A and B are shown apart, each in its own frame.
Chain A
Amino acid sequence: MENFFDWFRILYEETGINLPFLYDVYDRARLLNGFLMTVKLSMVCLFFSVIIGIIGAWLQGSSFKWTRRIVNGYIQIFRNTPPLVQLYFFYFAIGTLLPTVETDWGGQAPMLGSFAWAAISLSFFAGAFNVEIFRSGIEAVPKSTVEAAESLGFNRLQIYRDIALPLAFRVCLPALNNNLVNLVKTTTLAYAIAVPEMLYEANQIWSDNVNVTEMMLFLLVAYFVLVGILVWAMNSWEQAMKIPGYGS
């Protein structure tokens, strides 16, 4: 395996194309960690944003005027302001308001680290879009289909579980996939608060090795591939969920 990586060292010596994240063990580990961090951040945000979306969509149907207003306010604010500013707001403005905890070495550290704030901020950001998506999914199930089920004697829970949810989910899926792809791209913002994700680690490597061009190209290719795989997986899932006879 080392021979494979050593080839890249030779490549550097011969042509000047410097890919230290391949031949150097330390850089390799750094970049791999960065990649894993990107994946980890994406998955955490995906999970929480879906939960926020479901809760938000449910609350939007509430009979209390103020519950609806608060949810709508949350959605509009998070959708119409730059996510970077939201991130700073959470990390700096709210982060400094929270109490500090003692670290092992006796210093004071903020209660939540940068990863936590990035996860919170991006989850709320993506969650705001998800609320709209879930709500439109549920609304897309025609009232008449629900009525037909009612006429057959299904009770409310059965209708929800067997008919409304499967149909709503299929309507939501393309928009959810789109949101997921955007989420992965948006994780790069965490760079701004020093979360060691892929862009940050790549930055560290090119600062050390002055090989900006190679790192940049690698990053572009890496994200292209990552997003490409995601899009392909999501499309396959969409295809599998398709109802035969309908759809363009």
Chain B
Amino acid sequence: MTWTDDQPMVSIRDVYKSFGDLEVLKGVSLDVMKGEVICIIGPSGSGKSTLIRCVNALNDIQKGSILVEGLEVNSPDLNKLELRKKVGMVFQQYNLFPHKTAIENVMMAPIRVLKQDRVKAEAAARVLIKKVRLEGKEDAYPGELSGGQQQRVAIARSLAMTPDVMLFDEVTAALDPETVGEVLQTIKDLAEDGITCILVTHEMGFAREVADHIYFTDGGVIVEHGPPKSFFNKAKDPRTKEFLSQIL
């Protein structure tokens, strides 16, 4: 099935996911169009992280379907390499490879996985590091960088694979308040460049400013969703209202 721009880039339909006996996702559906920025918010344990991990095939699903640019993620014959070329992910704990410098972290995957020429990959990596405003830190090891800097390298690393969709799993949760801002700015720049982003986040200010659509999950289902303006000001469901009153 060839995918075209007018269809949703990521299409999640009726997804059910359990870990053993514990059902974490109980029928979640959501669509992301190309170029959109989606924020998923909700209390801990509501299944938000699990959901985006399913999009990247890090977790499998029991029922439902997930399509990324027409590629069926939940199919047992999934070509994981194809998926990973389309989808990039940034984690809460940065997960940089500690024994490689920043630039090596960024260019490792294009060289090894995409089989790019080393010189070209290095040049592209330098451009990305500049883009995340870490010029001058190319030869630093992750241990020599601050949390915020590491997270930006992690973003550059995922961008090196030129994905069409970027997933962010609570990427600022482990950072000091001062460095949160620099990472959010980087993500904002990506959004302005037109990259499709799905973020799981607690940063309400960011969500209000940058997101095109906000989804609120609780107990494994999407309780409510809408564009920021109507979501924050005119929330309908009592659970949503309670959550918003606690965090805003």
Contacts and interface: CB of A to CB of B under 8 A. Distances in A.
Q: Please determine whether chains A and B interact with each other in the same assembly.
A: yes
Interface of A: 142, 144-145, 147-155, 158, 162-163, 166-167, 170, 243-246
8 contacts: A144-B91, A148-B91, A150-B84, A152-B108, A153-B81, A153-B85, A162-B108, A245-B141
A245 B97 CA distance: 13
Interface string B101-138: 00000001100111000000000000000000000000
B58 A150 contact: yes
Interface string B124-165: 000000000000000011111100000000100110010000
Nearest to B97: A163
B234 interface: no
B64 interface: no
Given A145-B95, A167-B99, A154 B109 contact: yes
Contacts of A147: 58, 91, 95
Contact of A151 (B56, B108, B143): B56
Contacts of B42: none
Interface size for chain B: under 10, 10 to 19, 20 to 34, or 35 or more residues?
Answer: 20 to 34
A152 B157 contact: yes
SS class, residues of chain A in contact with chain B: helix
A13 B97 CA distance: 66
B134 to A, nearest CB: 15
A152 B109 contact: yes
Given A152-B113, A163-B97, A244 B141 contact: yes
A6 B87 CA distance: 78
Given A151-B89, A166-B99, A167-B98, A245 B143 contact: yes
B97 A244 contact: no
A151 B88 contact: yes
A166 B141 CA distance: 15
Nearest to B144: A245
A152 B158 contact: yes
Interface string B69-99: 0000000000011001101110101011111
A153 B99 contact: no
A151 B108 CA distance: 13
